[in-house]
Amino acid sequence: MGADLHPNNDPSFTNLPGSTSITNAAAAATSLVTITVTDTDSYDVDTLDVTMTTNARYAFDTTTKILTTASSLTDVGSTVDRLVFQVVDQCDNTASATFTVTITNDVSEYQETAFMNPPVIQNLPASESLSEDVTAETLIFTVTATDSANDVTCSLAAGVPTTLPFLVKQIPSSTDYGIYSKSNPGFDYEATNSYTFNIDCSDGYSSDSEDFTVYLLKNAAPVFVNLQNSTSISTTDPVGTTAFTVLVTDAEGDDLTFTMSCSPSCAGQIQINTDLTGHTTVGYDLEITVSDSKNTVGPRLLTITLADINDPVILTNLPSTVTITENVAVGTSVFDVSYSDSDASQTRTFAITTGRITTSALIDYETIAATSFDLSVTVADPVTSDAAALTAGTVIGTPSFGLTDPDNGDSKTLLLDCGAQTGYFYMHPTTWEI
C-alpha cells in the first residue's frame, strides 16, 4: 500500500486587508463589513473559524461574520481603529489580517454638550408592592429623570420581554413618566410573586438605565364570621323568610360567590322557598362555601332545625267491626273512635261528628234495607289526617216481654213456638235471649 502526502495549506481572507470610514454620529449596531475567508484545501472551507481581537467599540458575530458598532460613538472624537482578525482551519493553520475603521467627528457643539450632560434617573433603583388582584391599568411608580439641556423620555429598556405585564408611558397631563401595570395582567402570586426589570431614560443622545422591582401582595382569603353555627325555624314561617344570614369579611373587598350543599336533600337556599307545614324532617345540615377571585374557603356547617314539627294524628282502634242490636234507642252510642296525637294543643276534626258513632234512627231488622254498614272514619289535625274502616252489623234484639208469677220461688221455663219457622231461632234457657 502506498500513500501520497500533500502539505495542508493556510486559510486566507478574501476581503482583508480592508477599510471603511464612519462618523461618530453612527448609531449602535451599524454594519461595517462582512468578513469573507477561503482555503485552498476544499475540505477545510466549512471548518474555518474567524475571530476578532476585542475592541469595546465594535462587535463581531462569529457566525454571520458581520462587523458592527457595539454602541454609540458620540463620545468618540476623530480617530482610527485597526481591528485584527484571525482565521484558523481544522489543522490549526492560521492567517491574520487587519480592517481599518476611520471615525470622523460629526457631532455639533450642542450635541457635545448633551453628551457631557446625560440624563440621570433620580429615584431608581426602587421597588413597590401591588396586589395580585389588580386588573385595571394601574400607575405604580413615577420616574424622576433630569437632564440639564434636553427633554427626557423613558421606556422599558431594550431586551425587556414584551410579555412583561408592565409598561412605561408619560403620565397624562404631566411631563413625568410612570411605570404602570397592564390591563388584565393575569397576576398569580403562586406562580410569580415579584418582577424586576430595567427602565431606560434618554435625551436622544445618551441615556441612563436603572432597575425597578414589583412585589406582588397575595390575595387574602375571605373569612366566615358566623359559621360553624346553628339556628331554628318554625314550620309556620312563610316562604321568603330568611332562615340565616351568613357573614363574611374580605380584606380586599372582592366580589364573593357562595355555594351550598344540603343534607338531607334541599333546594340549596338559606331563605325558605317552600311551605314547611307538612315537613317531618327535624333538621338540615348545610355546607356553605365562599369564593373570591383567588381563593375558596369552606365548606362550613350550618344546622337548621324545625322547631315545631307537627306530630301526625293516628287512629288507634280502627279498623274494627261492631254489632248493633235492633230496636236500640235513637242516639245510642255504637262505637267510640280512639286516636293518638302528641300535639295536645291542636284541635282534631272527625268525618263522623266528634269521634263517637251513634244511631240516628230506629233500627228494625225486618224492615231495614241492609243489615251491614261499611263506614270510613277520618280524624284530622290542622296538618295531617288518618282514616280507617268500621263495619257495623245489625242483629235481632231480645223481644220486649215481661214474666210474673205470684208463686215466688217457682222455677220458670219458656218455650219458643214459631210454628214452621221455630227451627230458625234459638232462645237461651236462662236469659231468654232469642
Instruction: Annotate 147-182 with three-state secondary structure.
Output: CCCCCCEEEECCCCCCCCCEEEEECCCCCCEEEEEC
CATH superfamily of 117-217: Cadherins (2.60.40.60)
Alpha-carbon distance 425 to 434, whole Å?
A: 7
> Cβ atoms within 10 A of the Cβ of 69, count?
21
pLDDT value at position 267?
Answer: 44
CATH superfamily of 11-107: Immunoglobulins (2.60.40.10)
Residue with cell 458620540: 74
pLDDT value at position 342?
Answer: 58
Question: 94, 17, 18: which is closest to 49 by C-alpha?
Answer: 94
Task: Return the bridge partners of 289, or none.
Answer: 259
List where CATH 2.60.40.10 sits in the chain: 11-107
- DSSP category for residue 81: E
pLDDT value at position 384?
Answer: 66
Residue 86 burial (CB < 10 Å; 0-12/13-18/19+)?
Answer: middle
pLDDT value at position 354?
Answer: 43
List where CATH 2.60.40.60 sits in the chain: 117-217, 223-306, 314-395
Residues 143/123, Cβ–Cβ less than 8 Å: yes
Residues 168/156, Cβ–Cβ less than 8 Å: yes
Alpha-carbon distance 198 to 160, whole Å?
A: 7
Multiple choice CATH, 314-395, 1.10.357.10, 3.30.160.150, 1.20.120.530, 2.60.40.60: 2.60.40.60
Q: Which CATH class is domain 223-306?
A: mainly beta
- What tens-digit pLDDT sequence spans the chain (434 residues)? 777 666 789 999 999 999 999 988 888 999 999 999 999 998 889 999 999 999 999 999 999 999 999 988 877 878 999 999 999 999 999 999 999 999 988 755 555 555 556 889 999 999 999 999 899 999 999 999 998 778 899 999 999 999 999 999 999 999 999 999 999 999 999 999 999 999 999 988 788 999 999 999 998 888 888 888 888 887 777 888 888 888 888 887 888 888 877 666 554 447 777 777 666 677 788 888 988 878 888 888 888 887 776 667 677 777 777 777 777 777 777 777 777 665 666 665 666 644 456 667 777 666 676 667 777 777 776 666 667 776 766 555 555 566 777 878 777 777 778 888 877 777 777 777 77
The reply to whether omega before 7 is within 30° of 0 (cis) is no
pLDDT value at position 268?
Answer: 41
Task: Return the bridge partners of 232, or none.
Answer: 305
